[in-house]
């Protein structure tokens, strides 16, 4: 009879310190700040594209606000995640991750609820479609940042 547990135990082995160093060198971590930078660049690109195509400031501002609803919370998340308190040990890292994720989601929702007021202050009409396009495209930059991660030396 085939025993799944015995099969799994045979395939797993502990790496030596040198082997672990090689694996780590071949798989550099992706900094959360790199993702935030990619998101900010995408917002700027979307704004320029919208300005060139529509020439309507209301669309450009709405797109920008939608993108900022991702970029600003992501920056707050990255700052919290990389703090010394969060990085102390595995337990605080896990707790910190979930705490900062809740903060990020809350800030995103607050910014979305504030969108009509912000556009009113800027004296522009809010385009919900442009805001959602900015939000979704900027959010999907995670995949682009993963594809363009630093090359192994």
Q: Tell me, yes or no, whether 24 lies in a domain.
A: no
Q: How far apart are CA 108 and CA 104, in angstroms?
A: 6
Q: Tell me, yes or no, whether 135 lies in a domain.
A: yes
Give me the helices (H) in 12-127, please: 17-26, 32-54, 57-81, 90-121
Which residues lie below 8 Å from residue 22, measured CB to CB, with a gap of 6+?
Answer: none
The answer on pLDDT for 43 being more than 90 is yes
Other C-beta atoms closer than 10 Å to the C-beta of 42 total 21
Q: Tell me, yes or no, whether 10 lies in a domain.
A: no
Q: Tell me, yes or no, whether 21 lies in a domain.
A: no
The answer on pLDDT for 41 being more than 90 is yes
Other C-beta atoms closer than 10 Å to the C-beta of 9 total 10
* Number of domains observed in the structure of the chain: 1
| Domain of 105, in residue numbers | 29-147
The predicted pLDDT at position 97 comes to: 85
Closest CA to 64 of 79, 52, 82, 51: 51
Q: Tell me, yes or no, whether 47 lies in a domain.
A: yes
Q: Tell me, yes or no, whether 17 lies in a domain.
A: no
Q: Tell me, yes or no, whether 19 lies in a domain.
A: no
Closest CA to 46 of 33, 30, 62: 62
87-133 residue pLDDT tens:
677 777 788 889 999 999 999 999 999 999 999 999 999 999 999 99
Residue 16 backbone zone (phi > 0: left; psi -120 to 50: alpha; other: beta)? beta
Which residues lie below 8 Å from residue 73, measured CB to CB, with a gap of 6+?
Answer: 103, 104, 105, 107, 108, 111
Whole-structure pTM value: 0.77
The answer on pLDDT for 151 being more than 80 is no
């Amino acid at each position: 009879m085939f025993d799944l547990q015995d099969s799994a135990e045979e395939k797993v082995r502990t790496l030596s310190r040198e082997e672990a160093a090689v694996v780590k060198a071949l798989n550099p971590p992706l900094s959360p700040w790199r993702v935030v930078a990619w998101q900010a660049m995408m917002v700027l690109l979307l704004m320029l594209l919208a300005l060139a195509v529509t020439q309507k400031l209301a669309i450009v501002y709405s797109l920008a606000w939608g993108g900022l609803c991702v970029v600003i919370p992501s920056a707050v998340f990255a700052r919290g995640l990389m703090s010394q308190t969060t990085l102390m040990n595995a337990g605080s890292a896990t707790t910190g991750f979930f705490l900062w994720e809740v903060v990020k989601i809350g800030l995103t929702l607050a910014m979305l609820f504030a969108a009509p007021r912000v556009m009113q202050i800027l004296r522009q009409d809010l385009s919900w479609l442009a805001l959602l396009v900015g939000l979704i495209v900027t959010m999907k930059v995670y995949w682009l940042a993963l594809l363009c991660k630093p090359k192994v030396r």
